[in-house]
Amino acid sequence: MGESHSPAPPNSLPQDNRTATPMTSSATLRRKPPSPQELISHYESQGLTSHDASIKVIEDLQNALFRIISSGRGKKDKLLVETSRKIDSTNNRLALLDLKLDSKPGYAETFAVGLASGSVLNGIGAVMPHVFGALTHIWSSVTNLTKHSS
């Protein structure tokens, strides 16, 4: 497919200058963009085949999209700005929550955990001799009973 220096594709339908008045706004002056079939027929009238005309229309569309995206107009979109702000806010909240969950306990919490575990160990230490004494009594009673009955 050769590179041809053809005039720019038609961007809109021809405008009738008789209907335009100085009182009309810019919104009413905007015209409907050409359909894909109109663009293809435009390039075919310049001597391109149907396939080459289709490829040229696709190239023009890609170039237009690239210009719009690279111009930065999409960054000014209110919805995009608001969504980005909400995502940033949510991300900051999650980061704070993550810091709170991953933080180590302070001195007061560590002291309280130490006292509680010390009390539990002290209580177990105080009860265990009585439990072991009871178990040895049960064991000796069972062994004595089995020695005398046999």
pLDDT digits (tens, 9 = 90+) for 6-30: 455 555 444 444 444 445 555 556 7
Compute CA distances 145 → 4, 18, 142, 149, whole Å: 115, 125, 5, 6
CB atoms near residue 117 (< 10 Å): 10
User: What single letter denotes the amino acid at residue 63?
Assistant: N
pLDDT tens per residue across span 59-93 = 888 888 878 777 765 556 677 777 778 888 888 88
Answer yes or no: pTM beyond 0.85. Answer: no
